[in-house]
Amino acid sequence: MNVDIPHNVPVQVRNLIAGLIILLVLVTSISLFLNLHNAGEQYRELAAVSGRSFFDSFVAARIWNAKHGGLYAPLSDKLQPNPYLEDPMRDVKTEMGVQMTKVNPAYMTRLIAEELKLIKGFGVKITSLKYIRPENKPDDWEKLALERLDKGEKETFEMIGSGEGAMFRYIGALTVEESCLKCHSKMGYKVGDVRGGISISFPYSPFHKALAVHNTQVFVIHLLFFTVVVGVTLFLGKKIAKHVVELQDALDHIKRLEGILPICSYCKKIRIKEDYEKDTSWTPIENYLLDHTDAMCSHSICPACFKKHYSQ
C-alpha cells in the first residue's frame, strides 16, 4: 500500500501512526489466536458430544436388556453362544426346533460394536480393570482413563494423532445397577460401583476438515479487517500529516513575520534579499504583507501626516 507521507512530518506524528499500526497488529493477532483456539475447543467438544451420545445409547440399550433378563436370538454362523455367560438358560430350543441363545447386555454391546465398525469404522469396546473376556483388556489409554473413572470422573476424552489419521477417543463410566448384580455380584461389586467403561473411538477427520474450513474463514476475515483498518489509518495519517506540515509552515511563517525585518528608515521599504544595493532587494511594506500573509492592504492617511502634508 503506497501512501506518501511528507518527509518533514514531525517524529511524534510518525511515531503515532506507527504505534497505531503496531497496536492494530497486536489486537488482530490476539483476536485471531483466540478465535482459532476457541474453534478448536468447540469442535473437540462437539466430538465429545457425539461420543457421549453413542455412550448414552449403549447404556440405555444395556439397561433395557438387563431389565428383561437378556434377549434370545437364533444361532447362526455369526451368532454363537456367549462362552462367558454362566446361565443354565443360556441355550434353549423352541417348540419348532430352533436353537436360541441368550444375548446379555455385554454380548449385545459387542455385537452392535462389530456392526458399527463395519458400517462406520467406529470402535466400541467394553473394558474394565477387572475384565473377564481377554479381548476386554484395556489398552494403555483406556487403562489411564479407567483409573480416572475410578476416582470419580464420569467420562474422559481426547484426540489422538493428527491430520487425516487423527482419532477421537471417548470413554464413559459404567456403574453397577441392581440388574447387573446377577452376573457381577461374584466379582465383589455392589450397586453404584464403577465396574468399567464403554470405550468409543472414531475418526476425527470430518471434524478436522470442518475446523479447517472454519479457520480459513476466520483468517480471511481478520486479514480483510486488518488490511482495511491499516489502509484507513494510513490514509487518515496522510491527511493529518499534511495538516501538521501546513500548520508547521504557518508557524514558521508567523515566526518570520515576528522576526527582525530590515526596513528603510526613509521610504519604509523592506529588504527581502541579502543583496543590499539592488533595488529588487527592496519591496514596499504593503507588497511584503500581501506576499506573506492573507491580509489585504488599503491606503489611507493618519491625522499627523494629514496635518503635515495638508496643513493648508
Retrieve residue 275's grid coordinates.
Answer: 543583496
**Residue span of the structural domain in which 243 resides:** 213-309
Confidence of residue 1 (pLDDT cuts 50, 70, 90): very low
Q: Are residues 180 and 64 in the same domain?
A: yes
Backbone angles phi, psi at 72, to 5 degrees: -105, 140
Go through 51-68 and write b for each residue having 16 or more CB atoms within 10 A of its CB, e for each that does not. Answer: bbebbeebbeebeebbee
Helix (H) or strand (E) holding 133: none
Q: Are residues 224 and 192 in the same domain?
A: no
Q: Which amino acid is at 77?
A: D
Query: What pLDDT digit, counting tens, does each position of 19-63 carry?
Result: 888 898 999 999 999 999 999 899 999 999 999 999 999 999 988
Q: Are residues 165 and 182 in the same domain?
A: yes
| CA neighbor of 173 nearest in space, from 190, 191, 156 | 156
Backbone angles phi, psi at 80, to 5 degrees: -115, 160
Confidence of residue 77 (pLDDT cuts 50, 70, 90): confident
Among candidate residues 210, 229, 255, the one where a domain is terminated: 210
Q: Are residues 70 and 165 in the same domain?
A: yes
Q: Are residues 240 and 171 in the same domain?
A: no
Confidence of residue 9 (pLDDT cuts 50, 70, 90): low
Triad 120, 126, 130: Cα angle to 5°: 160
Tell me the average pLDDT across 155-177: 87
Backbone angles phi, psi at 90, to 5 degrees: -65, -45
User: Considering the domain boundaries, does residue 94 fall inside one?
Assistant: yes
Query: What pLDDT digit, counting tens, does each position of 264-294 carry?
Result: 877 878 777 767 677 777 888 777 777 777 7
Is the separation of the CB atoms in 161 and 47 below 8 Å? Answer: no
User: Considering the domain boundaries, does residue 4 fall inside one?
Assistant: no
As a whole number, the mean pLDDT across the chain is: 82
Check: pTM over 0.95? Answer yes or no: no
Which pLDDT belongs to residue 83? Answer: 87
User: Considering the domain boundaries, does residue 1 fall inside one?
Assistant: no
Strands (E), 113-207: 123-127, 155-160, 167-175, 194-203
Among candidate residues 175, 210, 245, the one where a domain is terminated: 210
Is the separation of the CB atoms in 48 and 161 below 8 Å? Answer: no
User: Considering the domain boundaries, does residue 100 fall inside one?
Assistant: yes
Residue 181: is its pLDDT beyond 70?
no
Domain count, the chain: 2
Residue 117: is its pLDDT beyond 70?
yes
Tell me the average pLDDT across 236-259: 70
Alpha carbons 88 and 195: distance in angstroms, whole number: 24
